[in-house]
Amino acid sequence: MTSFDHTKYRPFQPVAISDRTWPDQEITQAPKWCSVDLRDGNQALVEPMTVEQKKQFFALLVDVGFKEIEVGFPAASQLDFDFVRWLIEENQVPDDVSIQVLTQARPELIERTYESLKGAKKAVVHVYNSTSKTQREQVFRLDKDGIKNIAVNGAKCVLEHAKKNPETEWVFQYSPESFTGTETDYAVEVCNAVIDVWQPTPEHKCIINLPATVEVTTPNRFADQIEYFCRNVIKRDSIEVSLHTHNDRGCGVAAAELGIMAGADRIEGTLLGNGERTGNMDVVTMAMNMYSQGVDPKLALGDMDRIVSVVQACTQLPVHPRHPYAGELVFTAFSGSHQDAIKKCLAFQKEDQPWDVAYLPIDPTDVGRSYQEVIRVNSQSGKGGMAYTLEQEYGLALPRWLQVEFSPIVQKFAEEDGGVIDAEAMKNLFESNFLTGKSPYALGRYELSKAENDTVHAELLSNNETIQVSGQGNGALSAFGEALGKYFNLKIDIVQYQEHALTVGSDAQAIAYVQTNIDGERFNGAAIDSDIVSASIQALLATLNQKVIAAEQANVA
C-alpha cells in the first residue's frame, strides 16, 4: 500500500524578523536580469542543447535585451568551454553584454574557467559552494568553519586569477548554494567572509547571489530571509544582492517578486521557466507581471511567438497552452459570458485610456497576439464535438491550437447554411482552409542533408516555373522555413508543430500540422503524405501560400 504520511516532514523554521518592511514596498522599476537558460536551463534538459542551438538561443537572449547571460560551466564541460571560446573569438558578445560562467570553489576548476574567458571584454565569474545544514552534515561532513573556508579560498583564487588577466573587466559573484536551507545568520557570515576577500566598492561592486536551490517555504518567509540578509551583510552599498529562485512549490515568481520588495537588486531565471525539477524562475512571467502594472521591464517581449518558437526548438520542450502570457490559449475565452464581456469592453476601450478589459490583464497585441474567441458550432455542438467528429470519421486529430482557429470557420458555415453541418462538409472546410500546399506554390523535389546543421534544397513549382530555394536550421522544418524566408524576404517563425499517423483508411499515411508567424501574422497549414518529413514541409508551404494569397487580396482591395 502506498505511504502518504505528512508526519515525516518538518515545517520550515522562519528567520527571526519582527519589524519587516517589505510588505509595504512596491516594485517600481525592473531589477537587473540575468538569463541562466544556457547553463542552469541547459543542464535540466534530457538532451542538452547542441552548439548550434546554443548559438540560436544566445542570439535570442541578446535581442530580448539581457545584459548578463550565464553561458555555461566551462570547467565541467568541453562543449561549454568551446562555446565560450566561440563567443569570444568570433566577437559574438555585444559591448554592453557581460557573459557569466559558473564554477565550483575549487582551484583547478577556477583556473580552467579563466582559460575559457581569455580575451573577453567583460565577464562575471560566478563561484559557489553548498552551505546548507543538510549538505554540511550529510554530503561534505564539515563543520561551519570548514564550509566557510571553502568559500573564502575560492574567493581568493578567483581574485588571484583576475589580477593575472587585467585586460578583462571582471565582476565576481558568489552563491551560497541552497541558501534557503542554510541558517540565515550563517549565510550572512559566509558571504561577509567572501566580501571581505574581494573588497568591493560602490564603483566596482560584486554580486552575492542567494539561491532558493530548492524552494522550501512560502514566498513571504523567503522575503524575510532576504530582508534579514540585506540588513546584516557588510558593504551593502558595494554589492548587488541577486536572487535565483526555483519552483518546487510553484511559487518561484512570487518568491522573486517579494524578494525584490525585500531589497534584492538582481534576478536570475530562464525564459518560460525551464530548469531542474519543476523549473527555474520564469523571467517572462515576472517581467510581464511588471509590465501589466505599468512598470517597464527593460526586456523586449513584444514578439512572444518568436520567443516561444526558439525556446521550444532549442529545449525540445513544449510550452503549456495555459502558460502565463506565452501560452496558446491565454487570450482565448471559452465561456459565452466571458466572450460577451470581452467584446463589450473591447468596443468600449479607447486608445488614449489605460487598458481596462474584462478577463484580459494585458492587451494581447502588446505581445504580438490577438484576442481569440472560441464560438460554439451551433446550439447542440461545440468545438469539442467538431474535433471528435473529424477524428472519428477521418482520423484527423486536430491539435488544440488548430481547433481554436478552425472553430469560427465551422461556426460561420453552420450559420450561413442553416445551422447544421455534417462530417463531410466539416472535412471539406478543413481541406480548403488548411491543406493549401499546392497553390500558388507546390513542392517539387527536395534534398535533405545532415551535418552540423540540417540543410534543405527544394524546388517550388508555380505556373510552369521552377524555383530553387535552400536553407539551414535545426531540423528539416526549420531549414525549409529559412529557405522560404530568404527567397520571399519574409520573417517566418514556426510557432507550433504536431504530427500523427492517420488511423482511418488503409494507406499508411501521416498528417502534419504547422502554425507559423509570418511577418507578424498567424497562419495554419496541414499536409498529408506517406513520408512525415514531406508532410511537414508541405504543411509549412501551405502557410506561405495563405500569406501570399492574403497579400494579393489586400492589394486588390
Q: Looking at the chain, how many residues does it have?
A: 557
**Structure-block grid coordinates of residue 213:** 536551490
Q: Which CATH superfamily hosts domain 74-300?
A: Aldolase class I (3.20.20.70)
Annotated binding site: 40, 244, 246, 280
Radius of gyration from C-alpha coordinates of the chain: 27
Q: Where are the beta strands (DSSP E) in 287-433?
A: 332-333, 372-373
pTM: 0.86
Range list for CATH 1.10.1220.20 in the chain: 385-434
Three-class SS string for 89-153?
A: HCCCCCCCCEEEEEEECCHHHHHHHHHHCCCCCEEEEEEEEECCHHHHHHHHCCCHHHHHHHHHH
User: For residue 312, what is the enclosing H or E element?
Assistant: helix 304-315
3 state SS of 13: coil
| Residue 144 neighbours by CB distance under 10 Å | 15
CA distance 113 to 102: 8
Nearest of 269, 197, 196, 195 to residue 239 by alpha carbon: 195
CA distance 284 to 297: 10
109 CB-near residues (< 8 Å, 6+ apart): 75, 76, 103
Q: Check residue 423 and give its pLDDT.
A: 84
Range list for CATH 1.10.287.1400 in the chain: 332-373
Q: Check residue 504 and give its pLDDT.
A: 78
Indicate the class that CATH gives domain 442-556: alpha beta
Q: Check residue 383 and give its pLDDT.
A: 57
Q: Walk along the chain (557 residues) and give the pLDDT tens digit of each residue.
A: 578 999 999 999 999 898 999 999 999 999 999 999 999 999 999 999 999 999 999 999 999 999 999 999 999 999 999 999 999 999 999 999 999 999 999 999 999 999 999 999 999 999 999 999 999 999 999 999 999 999 999 999 999 999 999 999 999 999 999 999 999 999 999 999 999 999 999 999 999 999 999 999 999 999 999 999 999 999 999 999 999 999 999 999 999 999 999 999 999 999 999 999 999 999 999 999 999 999 999 999 999 999 999 999 999 999 999 999 999 889 988 777 887 888 899 989 998 999 999 999 999 999 998 877 653 344 344 556 678 778 888 999 999 899 989 988 888 888 787 666 788 888 999 999 999 999 999 999 999 998 778 999 999 999 989 999 999 998 999 999 999 999 999 999 999 999 999 977 657 799 999 999 999 999 999 999 999 999 999 999 999 999 999 999 988 86
**Structure-block grid coordinates of residue 64:** 530580448
Annotated binding site for Mg(2+): 40, 244, 246, 280
CATH number attached to the domain at 385-434? 1.10.1220.20
Whether the bond between 23 and the residue before it is cis, its omega within 30 degrees of 0, is no
Q: Are strands 332-333 and 372-373 parallel, antiparallel or unpaired?
A: parallel
Range list for CATH 3.20.20.70 in the chain: 74-300
Scan for cell 537587473, then name that residue: 32
Nearest of 268, 291, 263 to residue 25 by alpha carbon: 263
Q: Check residue 373 and give its pLDDT.
A: 65
Q: Check residue 339 and give its pLDDT.
A: 79
CATH number attached to the domain at 332-373? 1.10.287.1400
Whether 84 contacts 72, CB under 8 Å? yes
Strands of the sheet with 454-462, listed across from one edge:
442-450, 454-462, 465-473
CA distance 472 to 459: 15
**Residue-wise over 279-308: b if at least 16 C-beta within 10 A, else e?**
bbbbbbbbbbbbbeeeeebebebebbbbbb
User: Which one-letter amino acid corresponds to residue 431?
Assistant: E
